[in-house]
């Protein structure tokens, strides 16, 4: 799919016709096969298997995978649209395409041809999912402080350590794991590897009991003398941290997309409600105070969408070899702004429903809870502001 055009920060980013056709298809699929299960997935804190089946059945679970490995070869904006439309009805389900990209992008960016064939092909076919293992109990925002070790032993590496906050852990078959190969070099001594769930010594902690995105399991990953072939290293020794940061430049945009979808779902529901709910003899949507709230919500959402699509356009150009794009700034800005907007929009949507918004009989309290994590994972918004300040365009 063709990417958006334009290079000015003031360009208006409009999806091409093929992107809008994709949006229509994903929205139809999401409303028919994912939305009916969203409340139960949240209430029962269970993995959204129905969503995975629907996404795999329509080849939407990992559309970023290049065509040579059996994928759709979709551009960054197409991936954003898929995540956005799924998140509009179920944030937990949107983490299937989002985390498949996060987990596999290091292989796409830095892996050998053999590694790409081995792991991207089953991902594209829907036979496996991919997760990303960077954070640790004592290394969150300071990822360079990780303690997981990978020691070379002949034609293998032996990994030991604990990874925390791993999305879709236990469900995914494959894991990109960052580990220290040279402790004296700090970030330049970190390397990246592919670990399989079936590798001896891999185990998982209990699922975290979370505020939101309850349908996406978040667990610790334990690596106890996990011996893997040396061929599973992603890139050269010592390049893992650089690969991890390049990955986040691209995938923070997918979190912005998730935030957009959650916010859009909340706004859509609130708009419908205020036209039906009557007080003082007329729909509450006729009151100026309510109208102003809706106007502010829509304004914030559209600003977030434009910034996110602009970041996606830069992500695509960087993927095509452009060295002139300020992707680090735009990726951080899109993630930060869209997630802040989603939190504000969902909070206001709950307010518009009054007491009903506070109950589980309506989806807005779930959307509000789900929105919160977008301000936290893939780098807190405080960290995003540090990143932006260091990379001002």
Measured at the CA of 55, the angle between CA 243 and CA 332, to 5 degrees, comes to 35
> CA 114, CA 120: separation in Å to the nearest integer?
10
> CA 314, CA 332: separation in Å to the nearest integer?
12
Query: Where in the chain does DSSP place strands (E)?
Result: 130-133, 149-153, 156-167, 174-180, 190-196, 202-204, 218-229, 233-234, 278-279, 282-283
How remote is the C-alpha of 345 from its chain's centroid? 19
User: Which listed residue (85, 136, 316, 378) is catalytic?
Assistant: 378
CB-facing half-sphere around the CA of 207: CA atoms within 13 A: 17
> CA 253, CA 20: separation in Å to the nearest integer?
19
> CA 169, CA 167: separation in Å to the nearest integer?
5
CB 364 within 8 A of CB 271: no
List of residues 6+ apart from 92 with CB closer than 8 A? 38, 41, 42, 48, 51, 213, 214, 215, 216, 370
Task: Give the phi and the psi of residue 191 in degrees, each rounded to 5.
Answer: -125, 160
Minimal CA–CA distance to 130: which of 192, 39, 58?
Answer: 192
List of residues 6+ apart from 318 with CB closer than 8 A? 249, 250, 325, 327
Active site residue 378: yes
Compute the 3-state secondary structure of the chain and give helix, strand, coil in percent, each to the nearest 5. Answer: 55, 15, 30
The set of catalytic residues is 378
């Amino acid at each position: 799919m063709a990417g958006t055009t334009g290079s000015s920060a003031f360009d208006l980013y409009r999806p091409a016709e093929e992107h809008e056709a994709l949006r229509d298809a994903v929205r139809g699929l999401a409303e028919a096969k994912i939305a009916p299960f969203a409340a139960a997935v949240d209430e029962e804190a269970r993995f959204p298997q129905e969503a995975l089946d629907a996404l795999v059945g329509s080849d939407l679970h990992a559309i970023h995978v290049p065509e040579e490995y059996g994928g759709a070869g979709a551009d960054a904006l197409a991936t954003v649209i898929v995540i956005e439309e799924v998140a509009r009805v179920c944030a937990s389900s949107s983490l299937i395409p989002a985390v498949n990209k996060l987990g596999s992008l290091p292989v796409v960016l830095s892996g050998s041809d053999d590694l790409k064939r081995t792991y991207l092909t089953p991902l594209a076919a829907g036979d496996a999912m991919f997760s990303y293992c960077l954070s640790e109990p004592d290394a969150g925002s300071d990822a360079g402080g990780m303690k997981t070790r990978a020691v070379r032993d002949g034609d293998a590496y032996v990994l030991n350590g604990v990874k925390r906050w791993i999305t879709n852990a236990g469900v995914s078959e494959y894991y990109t794991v960052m580990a220290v190969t040279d402790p004296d070099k700090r970030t330049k001594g970190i390397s990246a590897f592919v670990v399989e769930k079936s590798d001896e010594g891999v185990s998982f902690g209990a699922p975290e009991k979370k505020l939101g995105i309850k349908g996406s399991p978040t667990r610790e990953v334990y690596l106890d003398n996990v011996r893997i072939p040396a061929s599973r290293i992603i890139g050269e020794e010592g390049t893992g941290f650089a690969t991890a940061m390049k990955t986040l430049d691209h995938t923070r945009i997918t979190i912005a997309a998730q935030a957009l979808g959650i916010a859009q779902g909340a706004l859509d529901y609130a708009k419908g409600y205020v036209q039906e709910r009557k007080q003082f003899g007329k729909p509450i949507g006729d009151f100026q105070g309510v109208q102003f709230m809706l106007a502010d919500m829509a304004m914030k959402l559209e600003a977030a969408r434009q910034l996110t699509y602009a970041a996606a356009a830069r992500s695509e150009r960087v993927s095509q070899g452009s060295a002139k794009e300020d992707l680090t700034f735009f990726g951080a800005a899109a993630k930060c702004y869209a997630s802040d907007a989603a939190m504000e929009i969902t909070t206001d949507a709950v307010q518009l429903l009054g007491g009903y918004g506070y109950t589980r009989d309506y989806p807005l309290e779930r959307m509000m809870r789900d929105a919160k994590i977008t301000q936290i994972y893939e780098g807190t918004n405080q960290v995003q502001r540090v990143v932006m300040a260091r990379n001002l365009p």
